[in-house]
Chains A and B, each alone.
Chain A
Amino acid sequence: MSEVIVVTSGKGGVGKTTVTANIGCGLAMLGHKVVLVDADTGLRNLDVVLGMENRIVFDLTDVIEEKCRLRQALIKDRRFEELFMLPTAQTKDKSAVTAKDMQNICAQLREHFDYVIIDCPAGIEQGFQSAVAGAEKAIVVTVPEVAAVRDADRVVGLLEAKAEIHDPKLIINRLRVQMVQRGDMMTLEDMHDILGLELLGVIPDDERVVVATNRGEPVVTDEDSISGRAFRHIVRRMLGEPVPLMNFDHREGFLSRLRKIMGLG
């Protein structure tokens, strides 16, 4: 049984593409057959984050225009046998892909893959509406900021109204534990009060995500990083395993612990 999941947020820059890439790699690491679809025509990024940019010959719009077959546009990951990506065009705009096109493509992809994960563009216009059209489930990504949570809330409403996607799951990205502890950042409870969604996971703010993203190697493959571990937990929760939320309080380093012990912290 395959699932078609759209990763969306409303607001831009909260980490949709990073989440898509990491979840996809994480599922593939556990042996699931996964295809990641970039729906952000004209501002594609998923290829860069996955380190596949130099392999693109055909894309989603070529498939739609019948310039190639669907399988010719799929790019195989060099790390994981079971991971593929369907890029979109960079030199066209959102009007190149309609809701109907996405429904068609997703219907074809789900025949061959366990998971079809769609990286949605920011915004709620045509690009969003096409991206969500073929999906049956959604993951909403937000960061602990009032504006991002507001946009996430808007998107949850639109998912129900436009695509009949109910009960999306929530991922909170870039949480800064120290700031929350100081009372300077929205807490998980604050966000839950507003959105009321099931929490799929929390990704702590981590420099390693930036490094990994720039290198085209998703952080989920990094055994030592806390954000990689958070992504691996999310993947296990998606598979139905009850993994408790991480306790980030233990993540402070040796130096800060030492300072605390010495009464300097």
Chain B
Amino acid sequence: MQHVLGGAKDVPTMLVDGVLRSGQSINFEGNVVVLGDVNPGAQVTAGGNVIVMGVLRGTVHAGAAGNEQAVIVAFRLRPTQLRIANYIARSPDGEDFNPNQPEIARVRDGTVVIEAFPPGGERQGKK
């Protein structure tokens, strides 16, 4: 399989055991793996990559210290907002996209791009 991590491979990783609910937040200088959902109103800020083993509905900031190589992976990527380094992407207004596969978000040519995970495919799901 093709490599997906551009950086922050050898930094410490924090495991979050369970669901992050509205108002809860994680702030960590390394990678963050959430073993559950990230609900709307919850926030994860990580210096490295963020992996959500559940539905990502809240806001995630990866590469918060400026690492543009950082990625965000989720089983289901339906975020309020995604931030990677200094780039911000928000969900489109009035459009509920329901992906049916894991996805990865990363910065490409100055924009946050979402693709299927493992990479290689287009976004797939129900509008």
Indicate if the CB atoms of B88 and A91 lie closer than 8 Å: no
Complex contact A54–B23 (CB within 8 A): no
Asked if B100 is at the interface of the complex by the 8 Å CB criterion, the answer is no
A57 at interface by CB-CB < 8 Å? yes
When C-beta atoms are compared, the residue in chain A nearest to B92 turns out to be A54
A42 to B24, CA, bound (A): 10
* Cβ-based interface call for A192 (8 A): no
Task: Contacts A90-B41, A91-B43 given; indicate if A54 touches B22 (C-beta within 8 A).
Answer: no
Q: Is the CB of B24 within 8 A of A91?
A: yes
CB contact list, B1-57 vs A, under 8 A? 22-25, 40-43
B54-107 residues at the A interface, CB under 8 angstroms: 80-81, 88, 90-91, 93-94
The answer, yes or no, to whether A204 is at the interface (CB within 8 Å) is no
How does the 8 Å CB contact mask read for A46-87 relative to B, with 1 for contact and 0 for none? Answer: 000001011111000000000000000000001000000000
CA distance A159 to B81 in the complex (A): 38
Indicate whether A90 sits within 8 Å of B81 (C-beta atoms), given known contacts A54-B90, A55-B90, A78-B93. Answer: no
The count of chain A contact residues (Cβ–Cβ below 8 Å) is 13
Q: Which residue of A lies closest to B80 (CB)?
A: A54
Dominant secondary structure of chain B at its interface with chain A? loop
B81: chain A residues at CB < 8 Å are 54, 56-57
Given contacts A54-B91, A78-B93, contact A91 B25 (CB under 8 A): yes
A42 CA / B93 CA spacing, docked (Å): 24
Residues of A contacting B88 with CB < 8 Å?
57
CB distance A51 to B23 under 8 Å? no
In the assembled complex, how far is the CB of residue A211 from the closest CB belonging to chain B, in whole angstroms? Answer: 14
Chain A residue with the shortest CB-CB distance to B26 = A91
B40, A53: Cβ atoms under 8 Å?
Answer: yes
In the assembled complex, the Cα of A55 lies from the Cα of B92 at a distance in Å of 10
When chains A and B are docked, how far (Å) is the Cα of A42 from the Cα of B25? 12
Cα A44 to Cα B80 in complex, Å, equals 15
Measured CB to CB, the nearest residue on chain A to B43 is A91
A51 CA / B91 CA spacing, docked (Å): 11
> Can you report 23 A-B residue pairs in the complex whose CB atoms are below 8 A from each other?
A42-B23, A43-B23, A44-B41, A51-B93, A53-B80, A54-B80, A54-B81, A54-B91, A54-B93, A55-B90, A56-B81, A57-B81, A57-B88, A78-B93, A90-B22, A90-B23, A90-B41, A90-B43, A91-B23, A91-B25, A91-B42, A91-B43, A215-B94
Q: Please give the residue numbers on chain B whose beta carbons come within 8 Å of chain A beta carbons, in ascending order.
A: 22-25, 40-43, 80-81, 88, 90-91, 93-94
9 cross-chain pairs, A with B, having the tightest CB-CB distances, nearest first: A54-B90, A91-B25, A90-B41, A54-B91, A54-B80, A90-B23, A54-B81, A91-B23, A53-B80
Known: A55-B90, A91-B43. 17 other contacts (CB 8 A): A42-B23, A43-B23, A44-B41, A51-B93, A53-B40, A53-B80, A54-B80, A54-B90, A54-B91, A56-B81, A57-B81, A90-B22, A90-B41, A90-B43, A91-B23, A91-B24, A215-B94
